[in-house]
């Protein structure tokens, strides 16, 4: 398909540009790694004081964190739309996007990708293998496929929420601080939801379904059968939220007012 070949053309161009700025790339990967390490230390510190948290052990928590990193890194590589309003609406770059024969959202994904973030996938896998071997988890032949499916679902949940928020820019270009706040809320998804109260749990499942990025899909691999329904809902929730987001986007484009001049 055309879109796939356009995608690879962009990736090729991206790598070429990035390789000429090698130092930048190393710094970026290093700061990502540091950020992930800090989060891991936080979990270790909490479990320095207790051995179980609402029935979840330290290694299980670490496993969930490792899993979370995978869809999150994929999201972070391809959906850098947190500054969409500033970059595309206020500065009028959307004009340029709209004069090209490719879906506008896809173009923005291509223009804003940051493939360095994919390094987080490796970190995530390493963390999962470490925690998984401590827990003595068994892996069947079909588990890698389920893993891929659940990861895609999780990444779509994230993408759906952030694209929906970005579309606000089509209606109002005033500054909001909603994006950084949402990144914070997103972090709650990597801890087991049953440590929160009911309202927060409900919100994280059905309204801002960040729980489908970390704890729900991980529970399948942790063989926590009471959560299996939620685990297998992950791709469905991801798809639904992503489709809602794309629909909102398409409506938003018709409301685009353009920048002055």
For other proteins, the binding residues (CB under 8 A) are 2, 5-6, 9-10, 13, 16-17, 92-96, 98-103, 254-258, 261
Q: How far apart are CA 193 and CA 211, in angstroms?
A: 7
**With respect to other proteins, which residue has the nearer C-beta, 102 or 115?**
102
**With respect to other proteins, which residue has the nearer C-beta, 83 or 143?**
83
**With respect to other proteins, which residue has the nearer C-beta, 17 or 184?**
17
Q: What is the nearest approach in angstroms of other proteins to the Cβ of residue 238?
A: 25
Q: What is the nearest approach in angstroms of other proteins to the Cβ of residue 7?
A: 10
Q: What is the nearest approach in angstroms of other proteins to the Cβ of residue 173?
A: 11
**With respect to other proteins, which residue has the nearer C-beta, 106 or 129?**
106
Half-sphere exposure of residue 9, counting CA atoms within 13 Å on the CB side?
A: 7
**With respect to other proteins, which residue has the nearer C-beta, 96 or 223?**
96
As to burial, measured by CB atoms within 10 angstroms (0-12 exposed, 13-18 middle, 19+ buried), residue 239 is middle
Instruction: Say what angle helices 2-20 and 104-111 make with each other, to 10 degrees.
Output: 20
| 122 within 8 A of 205, measured Cβ to Cβ | no
Q: How far apart are CA 246 and CA 121, in angstroms?
A: 25
| 15 within 8 A of 115, measured Cβ to Cβ | yes
**Beta carbons within 8 Å of 142's beta carbon, 6+ residues apart:** none
Q: What is the nearest approach in angstroms of other proteins to the Cβ of residue 247?
A: 16
**With respect to other proteins, which residue has the nearer C-beta, 31 or 250?**
250
Q: How far apart are CA 155 and CA 207, in angstroms?
A: 16
Which residues are 259's β-sheet partners? none
**With respect to other proteins, which residue has the nearer C-beta, 102 or 122?**
102
Q: What is the nearest approach in angstroms of other proteins to the Cβ of residue 163?
A: 19
By three-state DSSP, how is residue 223 classified? coil
- Closest residue by Cα to residue 16 from 8, 5, 27: 8
| 231 within 8 A of 216, measured Cβ to Cβ | yes
Q: What is the nearest approach in angstroms of other proteins to the Cβ of residue 13?
A: 6
Q: Phi/psi at 137 (nearest 5 deg)? A: -70, 145
Q: What is the nearest approach in angstroms of other proteins to the Cβ of residue 144?
A: 33
């Amino acid at each position: 398909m055309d879109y796939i070949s356009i995608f690879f053309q962009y990736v090729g161009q991206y790598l070429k540009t990035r390789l000429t700025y090698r130092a930048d790339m190393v710094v970026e990967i290093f700061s990502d790694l540091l950020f992930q390490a800090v989060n891991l230390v936080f979990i270790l510190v909490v479990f320095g004081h207790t051995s179980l948290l609402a029935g979840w052990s330290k290694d299980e928590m670490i496993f969930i964190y490792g899993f979370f990193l995978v869809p999150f890194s994929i999201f972070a590589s391809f959906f850098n739309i947190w500054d969409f309003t500033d970059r595309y609406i206020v500065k009028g770059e959307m004009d340029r996007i709209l004069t090209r024969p490719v879906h506008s959202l896809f173009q923005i994904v291509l223009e804003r990708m940051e493939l360095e973030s994919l390094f987080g996938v490796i970190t995530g896998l390493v963390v999962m293998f470490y925690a998984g071997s401590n827990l003595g988890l068994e892996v069947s032949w079909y588990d890698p496929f389920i893993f891929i499916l659940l990861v895609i679902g999780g990444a779509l949940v994230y993408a759906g929420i952030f694209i929906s928020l970005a579309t606000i820019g089509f209606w109002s270009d005033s500054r909001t601080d909603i994006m950084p706040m949402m990144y914070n809320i997103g972090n709650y998804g990597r801890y087991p939801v049953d440590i929160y109260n009911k309202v927060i749990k409900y919100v994280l499942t059905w309204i801002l379904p960040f729980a489908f990025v970390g704890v729900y899909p991980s529970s399948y691999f942790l063989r926590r059968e009471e959560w299996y329904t939620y685990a297998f809902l992950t791709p469905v929730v991801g798809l639904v939220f992503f489709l809602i987001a794309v629909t909102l986007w398409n409506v938003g484009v018709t409301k685009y007012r353009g920048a002055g001049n």
